[in-house]
A and B are shown apart, each in its own frame.
Chain A
């Protein structure tokens, strides 16, 4: 392969990636600009809060429960190599609230919600429902995108908070019933070593991840091409983009919150 071709092979995906980031940023800016411009659709936002928040609770809760349990087993196994089994409660709690709660919660919401938003809006586009909204003097950005962005940004931190609690409970259950920890000691260690900022930083991450999930779903739905194949592609791209952006944002936020 010639050097020019090799350069082009690297350059093409880089340019495509940058173009995507640019398009997403413009889309997000346009959507957010409607926050201060009426009309507003509070009922749509409430509906989305239920769809995105309440209905995601089982999947986020179950993910957190099993993750907390597995985390307790792993930390116990690792800690026993240097006689540090006692750190299980504190590491489970810190690991859940700082990293695993927000990231896994965000990913589960991405899988459930980004796909659903992209498919719903994409289908609306294919079946001319978006055009119909415009002819009925309703801005699709205000009516479809903004309520989903607001709802996801508010709902995911709550899901993360609930997921944190369930994950810690999962760790506690495994610690007490499987690893023979004393229940009161486990809970005391959890509370003593956990700081407020550990929890709050995770909730901020949840808000960022919620925004990313809704943004990816709405963006790909609104830009989906015609036909079932276009909607399928939009759905897949929304989940992939949301997941990758969650990991990238997680690193940036962790660096921002916790770097010395």
Chain B
């Protein structure tokens, strides 16, 4: 289980997280929604230790993330970045197998390549793609490669940062379906941040609404449309009027 308790984070005068509290149960898929610049990505980065919170605690399975041995802690995670964040200098298969080619999870090169090709196949990419470089792929393909990299080491917890941003609706649908399938078959705990409502409905077991640096509402996706929460209601219906200011 992932637990955030009263997490605060500021960048200079900009108070991004102002007491965010959230629980993500093991084996569930939680989607955090909220407008741009509300701190969704910062929250993920705080959990991963890429950003250090100013205040509050973050625990994974009861262990404070700041106390956990770094390598072992990160080995439990996979992450799909918003832009893919593929390494330009490496071919696709080495991107996917990055973790399997070095460090504590190192495997022989041939085995790592085999696993990479298998993961590429799992996300719908042909083995011929393995030797291409990221710059030779379309945006949708790069997202799939990012997804393959995120699941390559079979992590317990997978983070998805805006998985469908910049994709056409069909490709977005393909990525959403892949995420749902993979999370279900791996039994992984998933935490996704997005403002794409079709992603929310396709991926989420639970939804959390982040606004002004705090979680305004959290609950099962089935209750989202009848939550009675004015923030969530305005967000999911995309209304300009409501408690969330349109000009931020």
Residues of A at the B interface (CB closer than 8 Å) are 39, 41, 124, 127-129, 131-132, 134-138
Residues of B within 8 A of A124 (CB): 87
Residues of A within 8 A of B77 (CB): 135
Bits for B173-199, please: 1 = Cβ < 8 Å to A, else 0.
Answer: 000000000000000000000000000
In the complex, 15 of the A-B residue pairs with CB atoms within 8 angstroms, ordered by the A residue number, are A41-B102, A128-B85, A129-B86, A131-B45, A131-B85, A132-B79, A132-B81, A132-B85, A132-B87, A135-B48, A135-B79, A137-B71, A137-B75, A137-B105, A138-B98
Which of B50, B78, B87, B88 meets A134, CB within 8 Å? B50
B99 within 8 A of A: yes
Bits for B14-52, please: 1 = Cβ < 8 Å to A, else 0.
Answer: 000000000000000000000000000000010011100
Bits for B65-86, please: 1 = Cβ < 8 Å to A, else 0.
Answer: 0000011001101110111011
Q: How far is A127 from B166 in the complex, measured between Cα atoms in Å?
A: 14
B138 within 8 A of A: no
Q: A132-B86, A136-B149 are in contact. List 8 more A-B contacts (CB 8 A).
A: A128-B83, A131-B45, A132-B79, A134-B74, A135-B78, A137-B70, A137-B105, A138-B102
Known A-B contacts A39-B102, A39-B103, A41-B102; the reply to A137 vs B85 at CB < 8 A is no
Q: Identify which of A41, A128, A131, A137 gathers the most chain B CB atoms within 10 Å of its CB.
A: A137
Residues of B at the A interface (CB closer than 8 Å) are 45, 48-50, 70-71, 74-75, 77-79, 81-83, 85-88, 98-99, 102-105, 149
Q: Identify which of B75, B81, B82, B104 gathers the most chain A CB atoms within 10 Å of its CB.
A: B81
Q: Identify which of A41, A124, A131, A138 gathers the most chain B CB atoms within 10 Å of its CB.
A: A131
**Are B104 and A128 in contact, with the CB atoms below 8 A?**
no
Residues of A within 8 A of B85 (CB): 127-129, 131-132
Q: How far is A136 from B151 in the complex, measured between Cα atoms in Å?
A: 11
